[in-house]
Chains A and B, each alone.
Chain A
Amino acid sequence: NAGVTQTPKFRILKIGQSMTLQCTQDMNHNYMYWYRQDPGMGLKLIYYSVGAGITDKGEVPNGYNVSRSTTEDFPLRLELAAPSQTSVYFCASSFPPGRSYEQYFGPGTRLTVT
């Protein structure tokens, strides 16, 4: 199993550009998450999904959109990139609570907006 994979690893965007961060998991997990980590800080939840077709906002959803058309994929869309979105983005996945409580993280995407 590859686990949780993310692409790209690094990206530099200009202000106002858009991009999609890709996340794929091969563990058949129902739940998927997007977090951001600012320098020297803990992670903050952007969006999450409990299954295909179901998404909901986390703590810091503004400026982002998500979709979940398959169990495996959970892309994160940035529209009109701003310097405040410079961060490291982590995707994670898990089984529903009760079956397991482990959350598995991808390697991250380092995004700079200038």
Chain B
Amino acid sequence: ELKVEQNPLFLSMQEGKNYTIYCNYSTTSDRLYWYRQDPGKSLESLFVLLSNGAVKQEGRLMASLDTKARLSTLHITAAVHDLSATYFCAVDRQGAQKLVFGQGTRLTINP
């Protein structure tokens, strides 16, 4: 059974600081997704990582994928308040885009 674990589950940080969210998964998969969710809202796609060594960046967010370690990271650089949200990673089960989600990381960025 595919399991996806994120850590930390809660993260409170100050503006201007850097931090990393980790996403581990238990069985082989070639695709990993990162989503953002604001309270009471739907999911917004951030990144789709398709292969080992993939790195994608958008603004202050950078995601990477190591399929051998079954690990993805979401790095936040010089955090700003607008990045406060819950971040989910998800792994594609059996290649049919049937996503298995982690529990989410609730990120709070304080001025």
Binding site for B on A (CB under 8 A): 31, 33, 35, 40-45, 48, 50, 58-59, 90, 94, 97, 101-108
In the complex, chain B residues whose CB is within 8 Å of the CB of A41: 103-104
Contact B99 A103 (CB under 8 A): yes
- Residues of chain A within 8 A (CB-CB) of B90 are 42-43
- On whether the beta carbons of A97 and B95 are closer than 8 Å, the reply is yes
13 A-B pairs with CB atoms under 8 Å apart are A33-B99, A42-B102, A43-B43, A43-B99, A45-B100, A48-B98, A90-B42, A97-B95, A97-B97, A101-B31, A101-B97, A102-B45, A103-B97
CB of B101 within 8 A of CB of A102, answer: no
Main secondary structure of the interface of B (DSSP, over half): strand
Q: With the chains together, A50 CA to B94 CA distance in Å?
A: 14
Task: Quote the shortest CB–CB distance from A47 to chain B (angstroms).
Answer: 10
